[in-house]
Amino acid sequence: HIEHLIYETNRLGLGGRVTASHLTSMHSMDNYYVSKLLPLMAESGIQAVCNPLINIHIQGRHDTYPKRRGLTRVPELLDAGVNVAFGHDCVMDPWYSMGSHDMLEVAHMGAHCLQMMGMAQLEEIFEMVTSRGAQVMQLDGYGVEVGNPANFVILQARTILDAIRLKPTRLAVFRKGKVIARTPKVKSVLEYDGQTKDICFEDWRK
């Protein structure tokens, strides 16, 4: 239980080094109880990992209607100052056979299930599968900064919205400045009524 984790984190002086995953029970707690719990989590330095794919699949499955979504309270945790990242969890196992290792799929599902569709919220969602996850893992030298290791992925997307919305092709994966994987750019072509036209699904407003 998160209450006991908070207690042990404080007792052992492990603030900033403890991460709680899933936290699905917080979805079912009453608001008053959670209002007391959130500041205790923030003060303890505990971080949280929500797993949208497996949580939406497993939680509430035996409920009658209305069914619980079962994801933890991500917006409230963020507002309380708790660092929250997204995780994938199960990949093609007895609990979840649809796993793909794709963190953009995780972001896509999380945005829907948590109803975080505003542009600022989508930017937070993107951080939860990038920089916030790096913070949870205490990765040094993360991000695009001079002197940091050149570990990054090039997407076939121009905006954060498209990165989450389209789950685009990963054109190249770099590790320590060297390409370790490539995927050709995807191109869609419409052939209709004797005419051929390239189709772009990216956000035309940018």
Same domain, 97 and 129: yes
CATH of the domain at 154: 2.30.40.10
Same domain, 70 and 94: yes
Q: DSSP string covering 72-99, please?
A: --HHHHHHTT--EEE-----SSSS-TT-
Give the pTM: 0.92
Task: Determine the structural domain holding residue 205 and report its residue range.
Answer: 145-206
Same domain, 120 and 154: no
Q: DSSP string covering 29-57, please?
A: S-HHHHHHHHHHHHHHT-EEEE-HHHHHH
Which of 139, 166, 192 marks a domain boundary?
139
Same domain, 135 and 150: no
Domains in the chain: how many in total? 2
CATH of the domain at 72: 3.20.20.140
Same domain, 161 and 114: no
| pLDDT tens profile 143-157 | 999 999 999 999 999
* Maximal C-alpha separation, the chain: 73
Cβ neighbours of residue 143 closer than 8 Å, sequence gap 6 or more: 131, 134
pLDDT higher than threshold 90 for residue 204:
no
Same domain, 130 and 171: no
Cβ neighbours of residue 154 closer than 8 Å, sequence gap 6 or more: 170, 171, 172, 173, 174
Same domain, 42 and 78: yes
| pLDDT tens profile 81-130 | 999 999 999 999 999 999 999 999 999 999 999 999 999 999 999 999 99
Same domain, 90 and 167: no
pLDDT higher than threshold 90 for residue 191:
yes
Identify the three-state secondary structure at position 131: helix
Same domain, 6 and 97: yes
Same domain, 29 and 84: yes
Which of 95, 124, 139 marks a domain boundary?
139
Q: Which residue in 130, 122, 59, 141 sits closest to 96, CA to CA? A: 59
pLDDT of residue 1: 85
Same domain, 90 and 12: yes
